[in-house]
Amino acid sequence: MEEEFFGMPLIGDRFPRLEVKTTKGKLVLPDDMEGKWFVLFSHPADFTPVCTTEFIAFQEKYPEFKNLNTELIGLSIDQIYSHHKWLEWIKEKMGVKIEFPVIADDLGMVAETLGMIHPGKGPTTVRAVFIVDDKGIIRAILYYPQEIGRNINEILRTIKALQTSDREGVATPANWPENERFGDKKIVPPPTTEEEIEERKQREAMGEIECFDWWLCLKK
């Protein structure tokens, strides 16, 4: 039975349970992705120029996503036959075989649930991206207008940063891991008690961390 949601799901919410029809068969999300991260991204329509370039770009980066234990899932409000024909066209004309599943949301139920339809843009999805972790929790949501293709490297960077934050208990600075001033160093969460402040100063003296003040410290 599908979970009931009121309004668009937010960062930190569990991804709503959805039974979907895809080019790879039926899936139940997020159940069938248990233990894996996944990126669900919507595109306005099959056989459109920007969407075609995005699918090629996602496929070319697919091995990098898989190295991060992350699967890709596309979606648009098109029938399954349209998806298959479009993916066939991409393979024949562009020499790229799309290996990840694409949801056929021809009734628009998934798009409505996830807030992917802009009322001023007609019955097509915006370029939404949901990054969901291996526990089924939504960790990031990105939205792009229909006219602008997505930066796939930024989606990869976001996943790397989230996984690093989970693993090491840190935050990441702007443009990490290629910050112009700090490089790939990570931010140590600021202390909240006097004891933690003193401990922070001791760690700096031992060379474990680099601090500009007690509230702004970094580590390799």
**Number of Cα atoms under 13 Å in the Cβ half of residue 203:** 17
Q: Could you tell me the sign of the dihedral formed by the alpha carbons of 30, 34, 36, 37, in that order?
A: positive
Confidence of residue 121 (pLDDT cuts 50, 70, 90): low
17: tokens are 């349970």
Give the catalytic positions in this structure. 51
Q: Compute the distance between CA of residue 117 and CA of residue 104 in angstroms, rounded to an integer.
A: 15
Q: Please write down the long-range contacts of 168-174, taking CB distance under 8 Å and 24 or more positions apart.
A: 170/219, 173/218
Q: Find the DSSP H helices in 79-151.
A: 80-94, 109-113
| Element housing 195 (H / E) | helix 194-205
Q: Flag whether pLDDT at 134 surpasses 70.
A: yes
Residue whose entry in the numeric block shows the structure tokens 């949801």: 103
Q: Do 105 and 75 contact (CB within 8 A), yes or no? A: yes
- The tally of CA atoms less than 13 A away on the side-chain side of residue 109 is 13
For residue 136, give the amino acid letter. Answer: G
Query: Between 124 and 214, whose confidence is greater?
Result: 214
pLDDT value of residue 73: 98
Q: Which residues are CB-neighbours of 12 under 8 A, at least 6 positions away?
A: 137, 138
Q: What is the pLDDT of residues 54-79, one digit of tens each?
A: 999 999 999 999 999 999 999 999 99
Fold of 18-150: Glutaredoxin (3.40.30)
Phi, psi of 25 (to 5 degrees): 110, -175
Mean pLDDT of the chain: 93
Give me the residue spans of the domains in the chain: 18-150, 169-220
Domain 169-220 sits in CATH 3.30.1020.10: yes
Q: Which range is least confidently modeled, 111-115, 127-131, 151-155? A: 111-115
pLDDT tens column, 90-113: 999 999 999 999 999 998 999 999
Element (H, E) at 70: strand 70-76
pLDDT at 124: 78
- CA nearest neighbour of 58 among 84, 76, 34, 40: 40
Q: With 0-12 CB in 10 A as exposed, 13-18 as middle and 19+ as buried, what is 45?
A: middle
CB 12 within 8 A of CB 138: yes
Domains 18-150 and 169-220 belong to one CATH topology: no
For residue 198, give every residue at least 6 positions away whose Cβ sits within 8 Å of its Cβ, in sequence order, or none: none
